[in-house]
Amino acid sequence: MQLFMNPKFKRPAGVFLGALLFLTLIFACSGGDEQQRSESATIPAETETFTFFDLGANTVLSDRIRENLQSKLGRDAVEHRSIIDLEINYKGFLKKYFPALHELNQKLNFPAGERVEHNTVKLMYRYARKKNIPFDYVELVFSDYTQAPLFFAINFRKDDSNIMETLKTKHGQPGVINWEAGETNGQSLYWQKSKDTLIVSLVPDQLGRPRYVITIYFGANLEDLLTTEKKAQEAKRKERARSGQTAF
């Protein structure tokens, strides 16, 4: 599935936001640490992707990587098996602007209305500022089948440098979404490489102060998770059927 945006939105040139000049070293195209790649990775090593602290679609989570992240972002909190909700900004945002991502989110949460847990590893960081890294919250979600990343979310409030010019230098001109009236006057920029999508949103709070939300979706890895879970569910169903047949 191609995670492409609704074609009616164009890519104007425009300048947006600013923050964190040092992100030149944090957000980059693929081509980072080759040791993080594995033959079992969903996306071939040569495929372009987005990275955060050198973690991209081809990364395989390890103890060494967790230790490296803790040295940069502080102590982590870990959650195994959790729900996955790809929605951002407000309910209906993906459906309106990224329908393919919305469809993928629906598949991850089927049946609707039920709590659907997935075999994941979620790393959460709330103390990055103590390490002089200006993020308020970082969430990194990986598949516990392959240890590959599924999606990243990075939140912060203060805009100290020029993040968008940094991202434009790395990834080129973004697509721009000016939220329509009634959508709290927010704005989002996005880039896409292969099946991966990076979205930066400026989300005003109740007082109109900006909150920055950066989200990276690793589309092929999310699709791979769905395929793996479907096979596992089918195997369990067959096992239950065999158990029933031998009970009498």
85-102 pLDDT, tens digit per residue, is 999 998 999 999 999 999
User: Which tens digits make up the pLDDT trace of 182-202?
Assistant: 666 789 999 999 899 999 999
Q: What is the pLDDT of residue 113?
A: 83
Is it the case that residue 50 has pLDDT exceeding 50? yes
Q: Is the pTM of this model over 0.85?
A: no
Average confidence (pLDDT) over 25-45: 43
Is it the case that residue 117 has pLDDT exceeding 90? yes
> Percentage of the chain with pLDDT > 90?
55
Q: Say how many Å lie between the first and final Cα of the chain, rounded.
A: 45
User: Which tens digits make up the pLDDT trace of 220-229?
Assistant: 999 999 999 9
**What amino acid is encoded at 93 in this protein?**
F
Token pair in block for residue 20: 């964190």
H-type alpha helices, the chain? 63-73, 93-97, 99-108, 163-171, 219-245
Contacts (Cβ under 8 Å, ≥6 apart) of 55: 32, 36, 65, 140, 149, 152
List beta partners, residue 200.
189, 214
Token pair in block for residue 142: 């990986």
List beta partners, residue 152.
140, 216
Contacts (Cβ under 8 Å, ≥6 apart) of 105: 84, 85, 86, 87, 94
CA angle, 135 then 141 then 145, to 5°: 160
Q: How confident is the model at residue 45 (pLDDT cuts 50, 70, 90)?
A: very low
Average confidence (pLDDT) over 113-129: 94
